[in-house]
Structure 1
């Protein structure tokens, strides 16, 4: 693709081209700093909108960890993190150790609708059922 200014660029001297490149570099630096300022302003506005909507705040940004992988300031040894152990299911602790059948006299006029299993937390007296 050729632009109409190509012919103009070929007629410029080396000093003029250097000056043009210098102005372009300063313009790119200005646009980069303006872009960074706009990004921070945009994020501040997003945070304000989230606060007004009652949404939870953003978590703090953490370093990516690439410094550690490339041999940054952290030396060999402990990385400072605690190991996260997975916890087992809490319901498994309440294992059924005894099955107790409770006899009850139904009230007159009632009808049988089936059995229903219930889970009752073990009390100290229920741990060792008395022999009949």
Structure 2
């Protein structure tokens, strides 16, 4: 039986942030496959299709925002158990508390602190059995 390749879906509408994430994964998490979507709607489709081990979801998306996307993920039996990590430039304690209350597994603020981010992602992936 082949080894499970861990997959992370990154939902982000900013191409610069997407490029940064690609670089970060290539350098710090090279064995993890990074999938990408630039809208919440596409993120939902890709989550259903690819069943990622983790979703990193930008809060400030056009169309379905991060909270609405999370709500849709939780209502779908195919995606309800996937850990979802919020990422946002909103860094107030109230923003973080709101994300936790909504059911995000964690909250990363932009700009990303690479070491902390990598550790959080590795921890969430380890919980999924990787």
Instruction: Give TM class, smaller chain.
Output: under 0.3
| Structure with higher strand content | 2
TM-score by length of 2: 0.17
Question: Which structure has the larger Rg over C-alpha atoms?
Answer: 1
The alignment's TM-score, normalised by the length of structure 1, stands at 0.17
